[in-house]
Structure 1
Amino acid sequence: MQASLSINQKRINSIDLLRGLIMIIMAIDHVRDYFHASSFLYNPLDLSKTSAAIFFTRWITHFCAPIFMLLAGTSAYLIGQKKSKKELSVFLVKRGLWLIFLEMIIVNFGWNFNIFFPNFLFVTIWALGVSMIVLAALIHLPVKIILPICVLIVAGHNLLDKTHITGNTLPAFGWALLHEQNFFYWNKEAFLVGYPLVPWIGVMPLGYCLGVWYASGYDATKRRKQLLITGGLSILLFVILRYSNLYGDPVPWSTQKNPLFTFLSFINVNKYPPSLLYILITLGSALILLAWMEKLQGAVVNTISIYGRVPMFFYLIHIYLIHLLAMIASGLFTSVAWQNWMLRQPIWFNTDLKGYGFPLIVVYLVWAFVVVALFPLCKRYDRYKQSHKEKWWLSYL
């Protein structure tokens, strides 16, 4: 008997498990942002300055955003099994607009703790919201049409890597929203475009297409085989393209000071915007994990799955908790005043916090505390959601 997946279950446990795992992994990146001493000094993926431990602490979190996007699309397909295309489309538009609002107000305040909102960060949740709105239009096409459109977006967008619009101008801002991470400053307000929309708007519909394999009545053995083959081919294509240095990522890999750092260079693919190679290795791994997780069961699986059933709830409160802990730690253990955490600049470019920070081991201890501390809240909220399915607003959080 399959304990982790049944087409008769209301939820698909392997999807909840994978989503929960990436939510937990995601938290370590945000703890590192707020606690690690080097976060304010250099990019953790800069091979001229980083260590292997710091590199992997950052690199492993690369899997979070694309997998979350993919599974959001899959969830949309499954929701669509109970709704008409029009109903699903309306739901996706409403939820997309709600997510954009959350990003601009609730999440941005959580990042900054500044009531004057000097920083507006266009990052994960905004890209998720816009992708849902795009998906709301695409679902009216057959899956056999959606799939090639999205493959073309994901595979072809690196042809735009050498296209740039410079300056602190509206055209440059518009291009950044589409395809180029950039920072802008107008009227004492900072605008950081961290998640350009292309190719994210192609990733979520790929997840929608993946939902076909999870439709009621679909053969589980066939699905696992397809997941393994597709995931394996994606990783193989990653290796071939990456080794060739011909296409798929704007920054080629190169030989480094030792074999380990050469390997780090090889896997150090571009996230902003996510390159084809970035998508291949992250989503290829996701498909393999989905196949493997169908057979997992037990207390650990059930615990991790709880985070996966309430991902937005966890996302919102973990940012506030981490920021609050950083403020407390700053006041108690460092010479940097806690008031500096009411940020006037985006955290990644903040000059007020130089001299603050802790060793990597503290980052992992705080991460463990955050994940464990939020579990009772997530469990309680999950139970509330499961027992109050009639409340429409629960689907938005």
Structure 2
Amino acid sequence: MKNNRQHSIDFLRGLVMVIMAIDHIRDLMLTSEITQDPTDLATTTPFLFFTRWITHFCAPTFVFLSGVSAYLSSRKHHDWESTKRFLITRGLWLILLEFTIIGFGIWFDLQFRSFLFQVIGSIGMGMILLAFVFKLSPKVLAIISLVLIFGHNALGLVPTFENPVLKFLWALFISPNLFPIGADHMVMVMYSVLPWFGIMLAGFVVGRLYELDPLARKKNLMTLFSFTFIAFVVIRAINIYGDPRPWTVQANPFFTVLSFVNTTKYAPSLLFTLMTLSFALGVLRLTDGMNNAVMRFFSVYGKVPLFYYLLHWYLIHSLTLLMVFMQGFTWESLEFGIFKFGRPATGSGVSLGGMYLVWIGVVLSLYPLCLWYGKYKASHPEKQWLRYL
């Protein structure tokens, strides 16, 4: 049972990590990215919409599996104080990485003019919060998770704050916002903590299923998949609550379907969460007990997610600069600054098809490094610091 569980969890984590690279390559290299919103149904194409939409499943799945892994780790070590200490130190480490090594990998800006609080920082904050509640009963944790996931959208009715401290705290925990620091620096809170913490808690609760026998686990995963998927379809169809962006009838049925699934990620709405977690639960159910070549391939990335995450940003950004120089631009043409990746404002980039070729190259080139590090980590359990990378 242990190996089957490991394969399915590592496979799903690796799958979404690989898909995630599509989004980051699109951000940095796609020709139209500077001027076109891929989810704007008035201007997008089906292929461009799908390119963005498929990556929506990455962050919530990754956060959810962080909760699952936190539970399994706590049960493995049977030491509450050690688990609490690890969650806090791991959380602080992730937040530090977010604003240093990861931040530089995203922007390549030596002046650090852009501070982006996104998924790694939010997971870090979630782990710190989890350290203070993980010993509560599963029922209480499940209730907290459901309140955060189902009730978060109701907070949109709260009037905006004018006090800068309250405004920042509201962004940090509830709803994303931008905060200028002088004329040359900016903080952007994209992954407000509490709705993502609700997803992490859901994973922590679901982690208990991996103590059951395989048949019981599969039955429970199927039940949870059915609930989340049906709840998404029904609540979305009613079109009253669950997402700040209602779906609308479009010029043709296909684009109406796109409107239906075009849910809000920042902050993750109820419908966004139900849509994406149904995928995660469905894949966990489908692959439970399986072990084949495809699963082993993706598991290589899933076993070393943070290692892969750090490397892929630096590789993608280096390729972006190489692309710009190959297209005839000089160093003086590069634009760095607040939320600028270094690309010139116009004239650079690759097509959507070219972007997918870059994606395949990036993923395959990182495979040997991830395979090596995964083996190194597994063969050196005495090196506790490896748990942080």
Q: Give the TM-score, by structure 1 length.
A: 0.94
Q: 1:114–1:342: 8 Å Cα contact kept in structure 2? A: no
Quote the Cα distance in structure 2 between the aligned partners of 1:39 and 1:194.
18
Equivalent position of 2:362 in the other structure? 370
Distance 1:226 1:11, change over 3 A: closer
Quote the Cα distance in structure 2 between the aligned partners of 1:154 and 1:232.
17
Equivalent position of 1:31 in the other structure? 25
Residue 180 (structure 1) shift:
1.9
Quote the Cα distance in structure 2 between the aligned partners of 1:306 and 1:253.
38
Q: Which of the residues 235, 238, 255 maps onto 1:261?
A: 255
Residue 174 (structure 1) shift:
2.2
Specify the SS of the correspondent of 2:264: coil
Equivalent position of 2:135 in the other structure? 140
Quote the Cα distance in structure 1 between the aligned partners of 2:337 and 2:384.
37
Q: Deviations over 1:4-46 (max 9, x none)?
A: xx23x49611000000000000011001111111211122111
Q: Deviations over 1:245-303 (max 9, x none)?
A: 11111110001111111100000000000000111111111111101112432222111
Residue 91 (structure 1) shift:
0.5
Q: Which of the residues 155, 169, 187 maps onto 1:160?
A: 155
The answer to whether structure 1 residue 202 and structure 2 residue 198 are counterparts is: yes
Equivalent position of 1:239 in the other structure? 233
Structure 1 runs (4+) deviating above 4 angstroms are 338-342
Over the aligned positions, Cα root-mean-square deviation in angstroms equals 1.8
Specify the SS of the correspondent of 2:336: coil
Residue 167 (structure 1) shift:
6.6
Distance 1:340 1:142, change over 3 A: farther
Residue 165 (structure 1) shift:
2.7
Q: 1:158–1:249: 8 Å Cα contact kept in structure 2? A: yes
Equivalent position of 2:92 in the other structure? 97
The answer to whether structure 1 residue 344 and structure 2 residue 337 are counterparts is: yes
Q: 1:327–1:339: 8 Å Cα contact kept in structure 2? A: no
Q: 1:112–1:342: 8 Å Cα contact kept in structure 2? A: no
Q: 1:27–1:367: 8 Å Cα contact kept in structure 2? A: yes
Residue 185 (structure 1) shift:
1.3
The answer to whether structure 1 residue 390 and structure 2 residue 351 are counterparts is: no
Q: 1:112–1:341: 8 Å Cα contact kept in structure 2? A: no
Quote the Cα distance in structure 2 between the aligned partners of 1:186 and 1:91.
33
Distance 1:166 1:322, change over 3 A: farther
Q: 2:105–2:314: 8 Å Cα contact kept in structure 1? A: yes
> Which deviates more, 268-277 or 11-20?
11-20
Distance 1:100 1:38, change over 3 A: same
The answer to whether structure 1 residue 150 and structure 2 residue 142 are counterparts is: no
Quote the Cα distance in structure 1 between the aligned partners of 2:58 and 2:265.
11
Q: 2:31–2:348: 8 Å Cα contact kept in structure 1? A: yes
Quote the Cα distance in structure 1 between the aligned partners of 2:177 and 2:188.
6
Correspondence 1:181-192 to 2 at 5 A? 181-187=176-182, 188-192=184-188
Equivalent position of 2:189 in the other structure? 193
Residue 164 (structure 1) shift:
4.8
Correspondence 1:296-335 to 2 at 5 A? 296-335=290-329
1:373 is matched by which residue type in structure 2? S
Q: Deviations over 1:122-170 (max 9, x none)?
A: 1111101000111111112111111101111111010012335367934
Correspondence 1:285-296 to 2 at 5 A? 285-296=279-290
Q: 1:124–1:195: 8 Å Cα contact kept in structure 2? A: yes
Equivalent position of 1:122 in the other structure? 117
Specify the SS of the correspondent of 1:18: helix
Equivalent position of 1:3 in the other structure? none
Q: 2:4–2:288: 8 Å Cα contact kept in structure 1? A: no
Quote the Cα distance in structure 2 between the aligned partners of 1:186 and 1:164.
24
The answer to whether structure 1 residue 282 and structure 2 residue 276 are counterparts is: yes
Quote the Cα distance in structure 2 between the aligned partners of 1:20 and 1:230.
22
Q: 1:256–1:262: 8 Å Cα contact kept in structure 2? A: yes
The answer to whether structure 1 residue 53 and structure 2 residue 50 are counterparts is: no
Quote the Cα distance in structure 2 between the aligned partners of 1:317 and 1:351.
20
Q: 1:147–1:206: 8 Å Cα contact kept in structure 2? A: yes
Equivalent position of 2:68 in the other structure? 74
Specify the SS of the correspondent of 1:252: coil
Q: 1:330–1:338: 8 Å Cα contact kept in structure 2? A: no
Residue 83 (structure 1) shift:
2.9
Q: 1:168–1:184: 8 Å Cα contact kept in structure 2? A: no
Q: Give the TM-score, by structure 2 length.
A: 0.96
Quote the Cα distance in structure 2 between the aligned partners of 1:121 and 1:340.
24
Correspondence 1:210-221 to 2 at 5 A? 210-215=206-211, 218-221=212-215
Specify the SS of the correspondent of 1:13: helix
2:379 is matched by which residue type in structure 1? S
Specify the SS of the correspondent of 2:187: strand
Q: Deviations over 1:75-121 (max 9, x none)?
A: 11111112322211110000000000000101100011111101100
> Which deviates more, 350-359 or 201-210?
350-359
Equivalent position of 2:101 in the other structure? 106
Distance 1:202 1:341, change over 3 A: farther
Structure 1 stretches lacking a partner, 5+ long: 1-5
Q: 1:22–1:63: 8 Å Cα contact kept in structure 2? A: yes
- Identical residues among aligned pairs (%): 42
